């Protein structure tokens, strides 16, 4: 106990001395450290209570959720709720999905380190960041320019050099970089888009919400010998997939 107190005292003296040399405010440094520590603890609780307890077991997925700072991907006025078990508004009528749904969809794809993944519906960039922690390359499309540009800048600032953002119509996919080992769609069309089927590699996996506005099923597909094997896995509710004119697909 005495040693612990002595260690903390020495650490405090070091911080104060460092601040005197650099001209920074020791109170500010301590405040930022406390904030960072608080968010780290919130991420740990989120992973344990919301993900592991509900059956998410892929260690790479769980590690990604511990590393990615979710509070950076929500508007400032919602940051206190960033690690709560709920979706949150991110502007332009869009939302960031609750952590469990992001984890469930990610784990369902059975991702490998060498995979190249297409995401439709960049939103704030959180799902792309999670994927980037696991896979080799992530290509993500956002139809709302303001969201897409904001996500692009944030992902660049966070050094996710393996994430490539495009502003465009996600229904059409991103043929230039196809085929993809996995495709994840975070907005809901009324049917599985044909371009996405074509851009999925042999043996590739796709997961997306399909259905009407208030009655959707999370559907998982796998391409085997050129044909798609489909299964429904979970009832969900996502924002609709729309075209440039705002019309739903």
- Among all residues, which ones are annotated catalytic? 97
SS (H, E, C) 26-74: HHHHHHHHHHHHHHHHHHHHHHHHHHHHHCCCCHHHHHHHHHCCHHHHC
Between CA 84 and CA 71 the distance in angstroms is 10
């Amino acid at each position: 106990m005495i040693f612990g107190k002595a260690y903390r005292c020495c650490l405090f003296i070091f911080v104060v001395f460092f601040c005197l040399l650099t001209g920074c405010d020791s109170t500010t440094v301590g405040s930022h450290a406390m904030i960072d520590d608080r968010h780290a603890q919130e991420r740990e609780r989120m992973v344990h209570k919301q993900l592991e307890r509900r059956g998410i077991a892929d260690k790479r997925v769980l590690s990604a959720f511990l590393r990615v700072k979710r509070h950076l991907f929500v508007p400032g006025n919602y940051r206190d709720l960033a690690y709560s078990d709920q979706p949150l508004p991110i502007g332009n009528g869009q939302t960031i999905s609750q952590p469990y749904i992001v984890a469930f969809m990610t784990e369902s794809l059975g991702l490998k380190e060498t995979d190249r993944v297409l995401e439709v519906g960049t939103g704030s960039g959180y799902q792309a960041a999670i994927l980037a922690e696991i896979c080799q390359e992530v290509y993500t499309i956002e139809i709302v320019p303001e969201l897409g540009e904001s996500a692009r800048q944030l992902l660049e600032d966070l050094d996710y050099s393996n994430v490539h953002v495009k502003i465009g119509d996600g229904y059409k996919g991103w043929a230039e970089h196809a085929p993809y080992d996995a495709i994840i769609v975070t907005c809901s069309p009324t049917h599985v888009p044909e371009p996405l089927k074509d851009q999925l590699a042999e043996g590739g996996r796709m997961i997306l919400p399909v259905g009407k506005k208030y009655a959707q099923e999370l559907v998982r597909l796998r391409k085997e010998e050129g044909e798609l094997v489909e299964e429904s896995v979970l009832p969900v509710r996502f924002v609709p997939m729309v075209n440039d004119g705002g019309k739903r697909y």
